[in-house]
Amino acid sequence: MSEFNVEVEREEDGRWIGEVTELPGVLTYGVTRDEAVAKTKSLAFRVLADRLEHGEDIPETHGVFAVTE
């Protein structure tokens, strides 16, 4: 089992970017750090649900996403 990490950082223009590197394509922007984290988690769950729906393998996970900067 693994735990996904939401990596966040602030861009030069002030926006926050959130990414889950374990799930390619899961990358979002937010006006605030919290918004970027929330959007990234939401997209990650949608990607995992889509993979399940289409019979694709997904990483086995536990717990909640950890946030790193």
pLDDT tens for each residue of 23-44: 889 999 999 999 999 999 999 9
pTM value is 0.81
CB 54 within 8 A of CB 43: no
CATH of domain 5-68: 3.30.160
Instruction: Return the domain boundaries, the chain.
Output: 5-68
Q: How far apart are the first and last CA of the chain?
A: 22
Instruction: Quote the strand ranges of the chain, DSSP E.
Output: 5-10, 16-19, 27-30, 66-68
Give tens-digit pLDDT for 46-58: 998 998 898 887 7
Beta carbons of 22 and 38 less than 8 angstroms apart: no
3-state secondary structure of 46: helix
Question: What backbone phi and psi angles, to 5 degrees, belong to 9?
Answer: -155, 160
